[in-house]
C-alpha cells in the first residue's frame, strides 16, 4: 500500500531572487526531501519584491508538481514562519560596490535578528535551519543568538556548495565521474579563507578506492591552484555570468538538507557549517565548516582525521577570520 506521507513545510526566504527562483522548483520536484515526500512551500521576500514573488507562485502552480501540496507567498515574516519544518534562509543584504564589510554586517544583523525571533516563536520546534545568505557562517550565528530556545545543532550554514565545487575540480582534473570522488572536506568560513582539504579524499577506480593525492600525483597543484580555484569560484562565476551563482547554490542547498534529513551514504561525509564544539582545536561557539556524517536527522563531526601542519595553518587562519567576523557582528548589535 502506498500510504502518502504528511507534507513537510519548507520556508525559502528571499524567494523572488535568483537562488530562490532556482531552488523552489527543485524542492517541489523532490530533490530536497525525497521523490515520495509531499511538500508545502512558504516563500518570503521584502515588500518591493512582492509582485515578482507573486509571479514565482504562479509559475509553481503552472508547473503542476505532484508533490507540491500548497504554496504561500508572503512579505509577512510571521505568516512565512508558521509551522515550518525546514527553513532555507536565502534572503540577505548583498554587499554592493563601495560598501564596507561592517555596513553589510549591520544590515544582515537586523534582518537575521527579526527572522530569528519569528522562527523561534512560529516554526515547528524541531525546525532545521540552513543559512545561505552571506556572510553565511556569521548570519547563522546571529540567528542562533536571537533564537536561544532553538537547539544549536538545528542551525547550520551552507558550505556544501564549496564541497561540491571541490569534488567537481578533482573529477575534472582526473577525468573521472564526480560521483566516484568522495570525502573532500571544507574547513572554516564560506569565504575566500575556507580550506578545501583533499588529504582524506578518495576516488573509486577499477582497482578499488585510491587516495586523491596519489592519483593526482601533483602536490604543487593540490596545495595551490586547486585551493584558490575553489576559494574564488564564486567570484569567477560573477565575472563570467555578471550574476552570482544561483543554480549551483540552489542545488547544493538541496543536497545539504537532503543528506541532513535522510542521511549520508555509509563511508561518505559531506561539509556543513555547524556550531563548533571545540573539535580539531577550533574555538567553540563559532559556526565553522567541518566534515560531517548524518544519520536519523542528526549531523556529527567526523572525528580522528589526521591534520598535517599545512592543514593546521589553513584551518586556524579561517577560524581567525570567523572570530573577527563574530566580534564585528556583536559590535553591530550594540
CA dihedral over 304, 308, 314, 317, signed as positive or negative = positive
pLDDT at residue 52 above 70? yes
Over residues 288-299, the pLDDT tens digits come to 999 999 999 999
pLDDT, tens digit, 9 for 90 and up, residues 158-200: 999 999 999 999 999 999 999 999 999 999 999 999 999 999 9
Average pLDDT over residues 100-106: 83
- Overall residue count recorded for the chain in this entry: 334
Answer yes or no: is pLDDT of 96 > 80. no
**pLDDT score, position 1:** 53
Q: Reduced to 3 states, what is the DSSP secondary structure of residue 252?
A: helix
On whether 95 is known to bind a ligand per the annotation, the reply is yes
Does residue 29 have a known ligand-binding role?
no
Report whether 86 belongs to an annotated binding site: no
Model confidence band, residue 252 (pLDDT cutoffs 50, 70, 90): very high
233 marked as part of a ligand binding site: no
What is the reported pLDDT for 2?
A: 61
Active site residues: 190
**Residue 16 labelled as part of a binding site:** yes
pLDDT digits (tens, 9 = 90+) for 24-43: 999 999 999 999 999 999 99
57 band by pLDDT with thresholds 50, 70 and 90: very high
Whether residue 167 is preceded by a cis peptide bond, meaning omega within 30 degrees of 0, is no
Domains of the chain: which residue ranges?
A: 8-157, 159-330
8-157 — its CATH code?
3.40.50.720
Is residue 45 part of an annotated ligand binding site? yes
Pseudo-torsion of CA 224, 247, 236, 157, nearest 10°? Answer: -60
Q: Which residues contact 179 (CB under 8 A, 6 or more apart)?
A: none
Residue 300: Cβ-neighbour burial (10 angstroms; 0-12, 13-18, 19+): middle
Residue 285 annotated in ligand binding? no
Mean pLDDT (the chain) is: 96
The fold of 159-330 is L-2-Hydroxyisocaproate Dehydrogenase; Chain A, domain 2 (3.90.110)
Does this chain's domain 8-157 share its CATH topology with 159-330? Answer: no
Mean pLDDT, rounded, for 222-248: 95
Amino acid at each position: 500500500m502506498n500510504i502518502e506521507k504528511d507534507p513537510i513545510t519548507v520556508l525559502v526566504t528571499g524567494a523572488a531572487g535568483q537562488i530562490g527562483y532556482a531552488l523552489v522548483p527543485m524542492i517541489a520536484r523532490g530533490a530536497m526531501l525525497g521523490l515520495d515526500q509531499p511538500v508545502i512551500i512558504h516563500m518570503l521576500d521584502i515588500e518591493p519584491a512582492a509582485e515578482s514573488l507573486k509571479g514565482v507562485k504562479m509559475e509553481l502552480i503552472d508547473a503542476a508538481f505532484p508533490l507540491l501540496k500548497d504554496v504561500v507567498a508572503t512579505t509577512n515574516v510571521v505568516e512565512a514562519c508558521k509551522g515550518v519544518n525546514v527553513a532555507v534562509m536565502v534572503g540577505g543584504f548583498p554587499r554592493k560596490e563601495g560598501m564596507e564589510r561592517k555596513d553589510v554586517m549591520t544590515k544582515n544583523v537586523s534582518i537575521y535578528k527579526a527572522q530569528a525571533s519569528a522562527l523561534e516563536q512560529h516554526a515547528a520546534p524541531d525546525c532545521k535551519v540552513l543559512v545561505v545568505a552571506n556572510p553565511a557562517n556569521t548570519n547563522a550565528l546571529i540567528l542562533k543568538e536571537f533564537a536561544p530556545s532553538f537547539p544549536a545543532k538545528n542551525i547550520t550554514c551552507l558550505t556544501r556548495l564549496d564541497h561540491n565545487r571541490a569534488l567537481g575540480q578533482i573529477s575534472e582534473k582526473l577525468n573521472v565521474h564526480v560521483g566516484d570522488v568522495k570525502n573532500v572536506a571544507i574547513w572554516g568560513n564560506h569565504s575566500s579563507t575556507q580550506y578545501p582539504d583533499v588529504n582524506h579524499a578518495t576516488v573509486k577506480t577499477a582497482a578499488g578506492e585510491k587516495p586523491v593525492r596519489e592519483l593526482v600525483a601533483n602536490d604543487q597543484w593540490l596545495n595551490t591552484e586547486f585551493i584558490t580555484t575553489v576559494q574564488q569560484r564564486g567570484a569567477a562565476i560573477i565575472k563570467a555570468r555578471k550574476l552570482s551563482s544561483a543554480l549551483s547554490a540552489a542545488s547544493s542547498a538541496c543536497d545539504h538538507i537532503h543528506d541532513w534529513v535522510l542521511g549520508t551514504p555509509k563511508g561518505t561525509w559531506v561539509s556543513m557549517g555547524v556550531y563548533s564544539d571545540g573539535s580539531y582545536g577550533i574555538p567553540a561557539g563559532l559556526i565553522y565548516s567541518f566534515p560531517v556524517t548524518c544519520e536519523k536527522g542528526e549531523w556529527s563531526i567526523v572525528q580522528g582525521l589526521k591534520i598535517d601542519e599545512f592543514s593546521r595553518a589553513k584551518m586556524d587562519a579561517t577560524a581567525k577570520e570567523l572570530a573577527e567576523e563574530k566580534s564585528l557582528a556583536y559590535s553591530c548589535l550594540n
